């Protein structure tokens, strides 16, 4: 027979966890969109670039610019960041020098993020690869 104190303890512990609003972070997967598209960036149309969970991720290209991305019926977030989130040369700092060393202008990167139940998949592009509108939001991990 189950002891009443154990049953009450389990109930209280479960209530605290649920009521406390504990959020579990999702696994983040960041991809260099420019590299995944490669030469397809020069071809208009929809191109498969990878997977987000079980969904196939496609990028729509028009006039050498990414105009939209989709992954089945997964919701998409259009985000921006001053931090280079995915790159082949991460960790390198580029300097523009004309006389004394000065840092180059900060670049903004634009990403399309797809949210599955356990993971977040983001494809990042330099500003030159996307059509920039006012609908981009600052990136915050989910």
pLDDT band at 14; cut points 50, 70, 90 = low
Q: What average pLDDT does this structure show over 113-124?
A: 94
- Check whether 104 has a pLDDT greater than 60: no
Q: What average pLDDT does this structure show over 2-14?
A: 66
Rounded to whole angstroms, what are the CA distances from 63 to 6, 44, 50, 86, 126?
66, 6, 21, 24, 16
- For the chain, the first-to-last Cα distance in angstroms comes to 43
pLDDT score for 11: 62
Say how many residues make up the chain. 142
Question: Radius of gyration of the chain from Cα atoms?
Answer: 21
Q: Where is pLDDT greater, at 116 or 96?
A: 116
Rounded to whole angstroms, what are the CA distances from 64 to 40, 67, 71, 76, 106?
9, 9, 20, 21, 23
Q: What is the pLDDT of residues 34-91, one digit of tens each?
A: 999 999 999 999 999 999 999 999 999 999 999 999 999 999 999 999 988 876 554 4
* pLDDT averaged over every residue in the chain: 81
Q: Which residues contact 67 (CB under 8 A, 6 or more apart)?
A: 60, 61, 130, 131
CA 90 to chain centre: 16
Cβ atoms of 55 and 71 within 8 Å: the answer is yes
Nearest to 65 by CA among 77, 91, 92, 47: 47
β-sheet with 109-115: strand ranges across: 27-32, 119-126, 109-115, 76-81, 137-138
pLDDT score for 93: 46
pLDDT score for 23: 55
């Amino acid at each position: 027979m189950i002891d009443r104190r154990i049953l009450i303890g389990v109930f209280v512990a479960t209530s605290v966890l649920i009521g406390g609003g504990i959020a579990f972070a999702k696994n983040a997967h960041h991809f260099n969109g420019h590299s995944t598209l490669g030469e397809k960036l020069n071809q208009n149309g929809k191109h498969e670039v990878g997977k987000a969970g079980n969904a196939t991720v496609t990028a729509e290209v028009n006039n050498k610019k990414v105009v939209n991305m989709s992954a089945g019926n997964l919701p998409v977030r259009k985000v921006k960041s001053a931090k280079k989130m995915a790159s082949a040369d991460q960790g390198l700092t580029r300097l523009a020098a004309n006389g004394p060393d000065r840092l180059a202008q900060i670049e903004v990167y634009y990403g399309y993020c797809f949210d599955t139940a356990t993971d977040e998949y983001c494809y990042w592009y330099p500003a030159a690869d996307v059509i920039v509108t006012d609908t981009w939001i600052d990136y915050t991990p989910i």
